[in-house]
Amino acid sequence: MQGIFSDRISDVPRSFIREILKVAIDPTIISFAGGLPNRDLFPVEEIKKAAIRVLEEDGKRALQYGNSEGLFELRKYISERYMKKQHLEIPVENILITNGSQQALDLLAKVILNEGDSVVVEEPGYLGALQTFSVYRARLIPVPVDEEGMDVGALKTTLLNEKIKLIYTVPNFQNPSGITYSDRNREEIAHLLRGKATILVEDNPYGELRFSGENKRSFRAIIPENAVLLGSFSKIVAPGVRLGWIVAPDFLMEKIITAKQAADLHTNCLSQRVVYQYLVDNDVDLHVKKIVEVYGRQRTMMLSSIKAHFPASVKSTEPDGGMFLWVTLPRGMSAMKLFHESIKRKVAFVPGDPFYVNKTDVNTIRLNFSCSDEKTIEIGIRRLADVIKKNLRYL
Amino acid sequence: MQGIFSDRISDVPRSFIREILKVAIDPTIISFAGGLPNRDLFPVEEIKKAAIRVLEEDGKRALQYGNSEGLFELRKYISERYMKKQHLEIPVENILITNGSQQALDLLAKVILNEGDSVVVEEPGYLGALQTFSVYRARLIPVPVDEEGMDVGALKTTLLNEKIKLIYTVPNFQNPSGITYSDRNREEIAHLLRGKATILVEDNPYGELRFSGENKRSFRAIIPENAVLLGSFSKIVAPGVRLGWIVAPDFLMEKIITAKQAADLHTNCLSQRVVYQYLVDNDVDLHVKKIVEVYGRQRTMMLSSIKAHFPASVKSTEPDGGMFLWVTLPRGMSAMKLFHESIKRKVAFVPGDPFYVNKTDVNTIRLNFSCSDEKTIEIGIRRLADVIKKNLRYL
C-alpha cells in the first residue's frame, strides 16, 4: 500500500532496546540491561486482598466505564501524598490518571506540540520520551546533564536562540544516568523560565526511591505555572497495573482531558480501584522503605564492585536513589563493541547510544541494579571488568 | 500562556455528550441517553475468581511490565474466537491488545493520517471516532448510512473525487443508529476498494450481541488487505477492564506496535491476565446469550412502546442487535429543543446533532435500551411520546 503511512510514524525508528534485548534473553546471562523494578518486591498478596475487596464491595462500579480524569478517590490520595511527602498543594482537579506516565507524556505532547516545535531533552535522556517526541515530529535539542543537573549555560543559550515549547526532565535519579538535579540547579533553571511560554516536565517515577541524601524541591514549588509533573505507581507498587498520572496547571487541564477521551476514553477502572484499595489498606511507606533498603544495598554493592574491579579510567555516577547508574568508559572505547563481547561473557547492559539524540558509537553504558541480588551483581561486574580490561589493551 | 497549544488540540470541541449529560444526572430521570452496557449483567463473581487465581498462580508476572503487543494467550484466544464465531483465520501476530477499541482507533489514526488527509465516516457516525480523527486534523467526509448499509453511490463518487486514506464503519448494530450493513452492501463497498490504498476500519464492539437475523460477512473475509478490525471485551465482559484489540494486515503491524510503545508502552497486564483467566474458566457463550436475551427483550419493548405511543410520522430503526435505536422525528422538529423539554418531563436521550459532521439542529435522536428494564422503558417512551405530541402542534 503505497503512501499509506503518516509522516510522523515513518520517522520513528524501531526500538533500539527492543532489538538489543533480543540478544540477551539467554537466562544464563547476568543482565544489568533491564529497566524493570524487582518483581520479588511486588505486593502480590496485598493486591489480591484489595482486588477481592473491590469486587465484593463495589464490583459493578469497578467494571463499568469511568470518567476521563480518573477515579476521584485515587486522585485525592495522590494529592494528599504530594502534601505529605513534598509539602506540595495540588488540587484534585489538576490531576488526571493515565496508563502509566508514558501515556501522560504522550497526552501532553499531543496537546502542546506542532510539527517542528522545539523540545529540550536531557543528554543522556529517557528513551521513551525521545520516542514520543519523535512521533509528534518535534525538533529535539539535547542539553547535557551531569551530577549537578542540567547545564544551565547551555540551556540559557538555547532559550535565547529559539522558542522552546517544552523541556523534559527526570530530575530525581534520572534514567539513564542516576543523577539528581541540585536545589541550586533547579532554581537557576526556573529563573530562566519564569514568565516564558515554556512548559517544564518533571517526570518523577523514582522520586520515592531515595537511599541517601535529602529530597530536593519540585519545580512545581518553584514555577507552578510552568511545571507539569508526571508520576507513577510502577516503581512503588507495580508496573503491570499501568497507573501513572499528570499534574498540570489549570489552563492545560481541559485540553488534556479532551486528549485523554480521544485516546482511550479513560484509564482502567478495575486497576484504579484495586490500587486505591491497596494504598488505603496498607502501610505504603513501609513497603517503599523495603524497596529502598533492597535497591540501596544493591546500588552499594554495584558501586563497590566497580571500585574494586573496573580500571581507574572508568568513571561511574553514584546515585542517591532509583534503579540505574551510568558508566563512562575510557575515551575511544565503543560501548556497542563492549556489549557484543560482554554477551559472550554472559553479562548484559544497555550501551549509551539510544539515550542520545545525535550521537552514536559512544563510550557510556547504563547499568541497572534493581533486579540482581548482591552476589549476582558482584559476579556480573567482575565479568564486565574483565571485558573492559581486555578492551583497554586495544585503545 | 500565549500560543502554547498544538493546532490539533485547539480544533477539538468539548465533548457534546459530556456537556449534555451533566443536565441528566438527576437520578429521577429515566435515561435513554447513556451508552453503557448493563452493569447488572457484569460477571463480577467470576472476575473475582479469575483475579484470585491469576494473583495466586502467577502474581509476580501479572504485576510486571509486559510487551507492547499484549498477552500472547489472550491474543491466541481472540484469534481462535474469530475462527469459531466468524470462520476468520487471523494469525496471532496480526492482533495487538489496546485499552479498549478507542485506543485502537487512536493508534491507527496516528500511524495513517497526516493533517488534511481525507477520511470517510458514517452519517450519522460514532462520536468517539469523529473526535479521534479531529485530533489528527483529518478532513471528514460523511457518507450516509441507512438500513441497507453505506450509500454506495455516494461512496463511489467520493472515491472518484479524491484520495481517501481511511473509511470508518461500524457495520453491525451501529452506534448511533443500530443499523447493520447487508452482505450485498459489504460486497459493493469492497468492490470499490479492491486494489486501492484505502484502509477500511470495521469497528465491531456489538457484533456478538445479535437478537435476530443472520451474521453478516466481515470485511476481513472479503478484502483482507484493506480491512482493519477493531474488537472489544467491553460489551461481552465489561468495559472497566479497558480491553480492546486491533487486527491489522502485516504491513501495518510493526508501525502500530511502535505507536503503542510510544503511547503507553503496553496494555494493563493484570487486566489482560484476569480477563484471559475469566474467558478460559467460564462459558462465555452462555454469558453472551444472557446479555442477548435481556437486551433483546428491552429492544422489543422499546420498539413496541414506540409503535404504541409515538405519532405515526415518527420513524425508528429496528436493530437486530446492539444497544441503540435511532428515531427520526417529523421534519422541522428540533431534537435539541425536544431534549430540553424532555428533561423537564424526566426522560433523557441524546439529540442526533453530535453524530453528524456538518449538520446542526437535526431531527434525529439516539435511544439506548441496554440499561433500562422493560417497565422503565415503557414509562420513558410514554413520556417522550407526550413531549413529541406536544411539539407536533407547533410544526
Domain-located, residue B56:
no
Whether residue A265 is found in the same domain as residue A295? no
Residue of A nearest to B243 (CA): A268
Of A64, A255, A261, the CB nearest to B240: A64
Percent of chain B with pLDDT over 70: 97
Whether residue A34 is found in the same domain as residue A81? no
Whether residue B228 is found in the same domain as residue B108? yes
Phi, psi of B286 (to 5 degrees): -65, -40
Q: What is the CATH number of the domain that holds B312?
A: 3.90.1150.10
Residues of B in contact with A55 (CB under 8 A): 44-45, 47-48, 51
The DSSP 8-state label assigned to residue A247 in this structure reads E
Residue of A nearest to B35 (CA): A65
Contact B200, B226 (CB under 8 A): yes
- The answer to whether the CB atoms of A254 and B36 lie below 8 A apart is no
Residues of B in contact with A258 (CB under 8 A): 9, 12, 14-15, 131
Domain-located, residue B92:
yes
Whether residue A302 is found in the same domain as residue A266? no
What pLDDT does A14 receive? 65
Residues of B in contact with A197 (CB under 8 A): 1-4
Query: Average pLDDT, whole number, for chain B?
Result: 95
- The answer to whether the CB atoms of A132 and B262 lie below 8 A apart is yes
Residues of B in contact with A266 (CB under 8 A): 242
Residues of A in contact with B254 (CB under 8 A): 14
What pLDDT does B18 receive? 67
Q: What is the pLDDT of residues A297-313, one digit of tens each?
A: 999 999 999 999 999 99
What pLDDT does B14 receive? 65
Q: How many domains does chain B have?
A: 2
Interface test with chain A among B2, B268, B273, by most A beta carbons within 10 Å:
B268
Q: Which domain holds residue A137?
A: 44-281
Q: How many CB pairs under 8 A join A and B?
A: 248
Domain-located, residue A1:
no
Whether the pLDDT of residue B376 is over 70: the answer is yes
Given A229, A257, A281, the domain boundary residue is A281
Whether residue B338 is found in the same domain as residue B260? no
Whether residue A204 is found in the same domain as residue A331? no
What pLDDT does B358 receive? 86
Residue of B nearest to A233 (CA): B63
What order do you get walking across the sheet with A149-150 strand by strand? A95-98, A244-247, A227-232, A199-203, A164-169, A118-123, A139-146, A149-150
Q: What is the pLDDT of residues A163-213, one digit of tens each?
A: 999 999 999 999 999 999 999 999 999 999 999 999 999 999 999 999 999
Residue of A nearest to B371 (CA): A64
ipTM of the complex: 0.95
Contact A137, A11 (CB under 8 A): yes
Q: Decide which of A372 and B1 is more confident.
A: A372
Residues of A in contact with B241 (CB under 8 A): 63, 268-270
Dihedral (CA of A261, A263, A265, A266) sign = negative
| A164: three-class secondary structure by DSSP | strand
What pLDDT does B22 receive? 67
Whether residue A317 is found in the same domain as residue A364? yes
The DSSP 8-state label assigned to residue A87 in this structure reads -
Q: What is the pLDDT of residues A257-275, one digit of tens each?
A: 999 999 999 999 999 999 9
Convert A211-249 to b/e letters by CB count within 10 Å (16 or more is b).
beeebbbbbbebbeebbbbbbbbbbbbbbbbbbbbbbbe
Q: What is the CATH number of the domain that holds B166?
A: 3.40.640.10
Whether residue B29 is found in the same domain as residue B75? no
Specify which residues A139 forms β-bridges with: A118
Amino acid identity, position B320: D
Whether residue A298 is found in the same domain as residue A187? no
Three-class secondary structure assignment of A266-316: CCCHHHHHHHHHHHHHCCHHHHHHHHHHHHHHHHHHHHHHHHHHCCCCCEE
Domain-located, residue A242:
yes
d(CA B77, CA A330): 51
